[in-house]
Structure 1
Amino acid sequence: MSECGVKEFKLRELLKIYNGTKYDHLNKGDIPLYGSGGLLSHVNEALYSGEAILLPRKGTLSNIMYVNESFWTVDTMYYAVVNDKLADAFYLYSYLSQLDLSNLDSGSTLPSMTKSAYESIIVKLPDLKIQKVVANFLCNIRKKMEINNQINLELEAMAKTLYDYWFVQFDFPDQNGKPYKSSGGKMVYNPELKREIPEGWGVEKVEDIAQTGSGGTPKSTNVSYYSNGEIPWINSGELEQTVITSTSNFITEEGLNNSSAKLFPSGTILVAMYGATAGKVSFLTFEASTNQAICAIMLNDIRMRYYLKNVIEDLYQYLVKLSTGSARDNLSQDMIKNIKVVIPSNDILDRYYDFSNNIIKEITKKQQENEQLTQLRDWLLPMLMNGQVKVE
């Protein structure tokens, strides 16, 4: 069946689906290992090498992926090799990513998809030449986003390297521009920390240099707390990014006033206290509320902002050891308030703030650019797929 050059297929006509498999015999390597949750690890052996679409078998059914390299998939993931005479693999991946597969879910407790369920999906494709043009456009957007992500990783590494050099090794520039500790700078034993710190530096608890707070969750059963909400509401899962520049979660003024949620200003440091992201640290770049799994830190001295973020991240393993959770290591606001922080001299603090502030501005700019590209892609994609917009 065709209409205006668009042909209709069942997915089984366009690709061959294979089972992922267990990897107990594999050692650590550099080949990506995928599951339904995404990239799991790296192994030393490939299940398949080349272009493929990864289709979740169990778990997060929306996490369809495209790969064009050697890879291994576990048994919660299918991998599919596309018939390149009929379909462009990246175009088909983009098409499938737009579909709601929830009606094909056959799982009782865990979302599940069978091969036959995937194979029965109806797909409408334009001519292969048009597919390739659209796929190239979408692929360029993806590449630009990947470049931005790589730049951000490098920028973060630069800030972390300088932090380690100045505040862990204490080799910040002395009055002569030489590394302080390595050049014989005086170190003084601090009884609170039970270690030496540079002469003239102090020690304070987080609660002495900042105000802290946590948020709350309005009752999900009350629609008026969420419907048409305009107040950004951050959950702990969003603290994977260095800076938070947007959120898809919002609550209403009524929801804010009838829960323990609070508004925190732009520049607030957020620390995840529970779950898989416990110990992760991010910056808010806009006024927002949070759930109760996040500790908000509002510093008295803005110059401490980037320094303290690194201090908390550096203490992540220490914080986890202090935790008391059973299913997952949990932190508490009291633990964070009682963290002892070395307070650098004003000169060094100023210099690190200036350096880090420029880094964070660049990271924020790249992240916002990616969000705009994502919005453009998601807006254009349905129209590209339907032929409403043409790419020359």
Structure 2
Amino acid sequence: MSFDYDKSKNIDFVQWSECTIGEQITLQRGFDITKKKIRVGAYPVISSSGITGFHKEFKVEGPGVIIGRKGTLGTVFYVDKNYWPHDTSLWVKDFKGNDPKFVYYFLKTLDMKQYNVGSANPTLNRNHVHPLKVKWPIFTLQRKISDILGVLDEQIELNNAINKNLEQIAQALFKRWFIDFEFPNENGEPYKSSGGEFEESELGFIPKGWIVSNIYEVAEISMGQSPKSEFYNNIGDGLPFHQGVTNYGIRFPKNNQFSSQLLRVAKKGSVLISVRAPVGRLNIANCDMVIGRGLGAINSKTENNSYLFYSLKTIFAREDQYGSGTIFNSVTKKELENIKIVYPIARVINQYEKVAKFIDKQIFNLSNEIDSLVNLRDTLLPKLMSGELRVPVEKDTEVTIQP
């Protein structure tokens, strides 16, 4: 990271000083731990890829900041409780009076990958990080900067938590209605508990009047086709392009790559399914997008995509397996089309779809807000850390950002 300060940007140099990272913090290599000792406990074990488990003991008192040291370089994590830093990480042993949250945000702006000293396995040495020259603000300014970024991160976390709860509600309702068969009967009573009639099918006993269908009878399936690489771009030319699950999110993919050649397009709202290992991983298209060979797009013929989505989540609850446990490294269109699915009577599925669509709409809106907040945070982060955006630190005044 380069720090060229231009006095024309109205930077208050009294609040910033030139120093090395080692003068402000001390990094220490993490501690080894055997997999069998990573168990359910109160203290997170944090490696270069994040939390990998929990332990009944901790090595370091929180709050803490951890950097990926081996394998995945430069990942930065903040933890507000006592923790165990794994051997694949570096942890901040001494903050030397600096704000831990500011240190976390500051380290996120550094490109640690360029300091790789490994050969076969990427490795970060703290002795290459400590001497790096940086511009460092006074403590009061650190707190103001971390407060601004922290507010955004808190809202992102809150939205993610709400989305998680909303999906759990939709899945719980799906299970109660279509697995436990306790959907409301015509009198509003739980069907199975109220003596509802069942009949045998090839998938077991199902409520009377329901049917078992092949997916092709109730949904349209389109398999992806990869454009030539010469049409790929990162400047937004064409439509977002997804080859497989690389950019999958919790529910919606992150649109980082685009294609100007539109061979196979999944329409907004389509259920995206990975057709190569891992087979069966699902997302939902949050806009029209080009899909490559690793994905398929599925759409309900009766506009019941929410029911279809949660049905597929149940069928592919274990990735690379479905049905009787048969293992698939890939699936063809024909194999997808012939997957069996239970299809309820219209009254029940329409009633569920009305509720599920409302929930799915809330998840979509919150996900869009998360994307906006992430973009804002990532735009502000380097500007705040370089002093390009000036943050007043007068006592008893509200925090404002002045360009």
Tell me the equivalent position of 1:308: 308
Offset of residue 310 of structure 1: 1.3
Tell me the equivalent position of 2:219: 210
User: Could you say which structure has the higher helix fraction?
Assistant: 1
Q: 1:1-392 counterparts in 2 under 5 A?
A: 3-24=13-34, 25-85=37-97, 87-190=98-201, 192-193=202-203, 195-220=204-229, 222=230, 224-226=231-233, 228=235, 229-234=237-242, 235-244=244-253, 246-253=254-261, 256=262, 261-275=263-277, 277-303=278-304, 305-316=305-316, 317=318, 320=321, 321-325=325-329, 330-391=330-391, 392=399
C-alpha contact 1:240 1:280 (8 A) present in aligned 2: no
Q: Unaligned stretches of 5+ in structure 1?
A: none
Amino acid at match of 1:11: I
Residues 238-264 of structure 1 show CA distances to partners (whole Å, capped at 9, x for unaligned) of 3342234x51111223xx4xxxx5111
- Give, in whole Å, the separation in 2 of the partners of 1:241 and 1:68: 24
Once superposed, what is the RMSD of the aligned Cα atoms?
A: 2.1
Check 1:354–1:84 CA distance in 2 against 1; reply closer, same or farther (3 A cut).
farther
Provide the secondary structure at the position in 2 that maps to 1:141.
helix
Amino acid at match of 2:383: M
Residues 174-220 of structure 1 show CA distances to partners (whole Å, capped at 9, x for unaligned) of 11111101111001011x22x10000001111122122122244444
Amino acid at match of 2:233: Y
- Give, in whole Å, the separation in 1 of the partners of 2:19 and 2:291: 45
Offset of residue 84 of structure 1: 4.5
Offset of residue 69 of structure 1: 1.0
Offset of residue 114 of structure 1: 1.0
Q: Unaligned stretches of 5+ in structure 2?
A: 1-11, 392-398
Check 1:62–1:163 CA distance in 2 against 1; reply closer, same or farther (3 A cut).
same
- Sequence identity, in percent? 27
- Give, in whole Å, the separation in 1 of the partners of 2:234 and 2:194: 61
Offset of residue 3 of structure 1: 4.1
- Give, in whole Å, the separation in 2 of the partners of 1:174 and 1:107: 64
Deviates more, 1:179-188 or 1:372-381: 372-381
Provide the secondary structure at the position in 2 that maps to 1:152.
helix
Check 1:76–1:333 CA distance in 2 against 1; reply closer, same or farther (3 A cut).
farther
Residues 286-332 of structure 1 show CA distances to partners (whole Å, capped at 9, x for unaligned) of 100123221211221112x111111111122285232243xxxx444
- Give, in whole Å, the separation in 2 of the partners of 1:19 and 1:219: 44
Provide the secondary structure at the position in 1 that maps to 2:246.
helix
- Give, in whole Å, the separation in 1 of the partners of 2:248 and 2:76: 23
Provide the secondary structure at the position in 2 that maps to 1:61.
coil
- Give, in whole Å, the separation in 2 of the partners of 1:30 and 1:168: 34
Deviates more, 1:308-317 or 1:161-170: 308-317
Offset of residue 31 of structure 1: 2.4
Amino acid at match of 1:302: E
Provide the secondary structure at the position in 2 that maps to 1:108.
coil
Offset of residue 227 of structure 1: 6.1
C-alpha contact 2:211 2:344 (8 A) present in aligned 1: yes
- Give, in whole Å, the separation in 2 of the partners of 1:158 and 1:210: 24
Question: What is the count of residue pairs matched by the alignment?
Answer: 374
C-alpha contact 1:213 1:296 (8 A) present in aligned 2: yes
Tell me the equivalent position of 2:8: none
- Give, in whole Å, the separation in 1 of the partners of 2:226 and 2:320: 24
Check 1:359–1:128 CA distance in 2 against 1; reply closer, same or farther (3 A cut).
same
C-alpha contact 2:232 2:257 (8 A) present in aligned 1: no
C-alpha contact 1:239 1:272 (8 A) present in aligned 2: no
Using structure 1 for the length normalisation, give the TM-score.
Answer: 0.89
- Give, in whole Å, the separation in 2 of the partners of 1:74 and 1:386: 31
- Give, in whole Å, the separation in 2 of the partners of 1:62 and 1:360: 35
Check 1:155–1:241 CA distance in 2 against 1; reply closer, same or farther (3 A cut).
same
Check 1:286–1:227 CA distance in 2 against 1; reply closer, same or farther (3 A cut).
closer
C-alpha contact 2:279 2:320 (8 A) present in aligned 1: no
Check 1:119–1:273 CA distance in 2 against 1; reply closer, same or farther (3 A cut).
farther
Amino acid at match of 1:13: E
- Give, in whole Å, the separation in 2 of the partners of 1:81 and 1:369: 36
Provide the secondary structure at the position in 2 that maps to 1:237.
coil
Large movers: runs of 4+ above 4 Å: none
C-alpha contact 1:319 1:331 (8 A) present in aligned 2: no
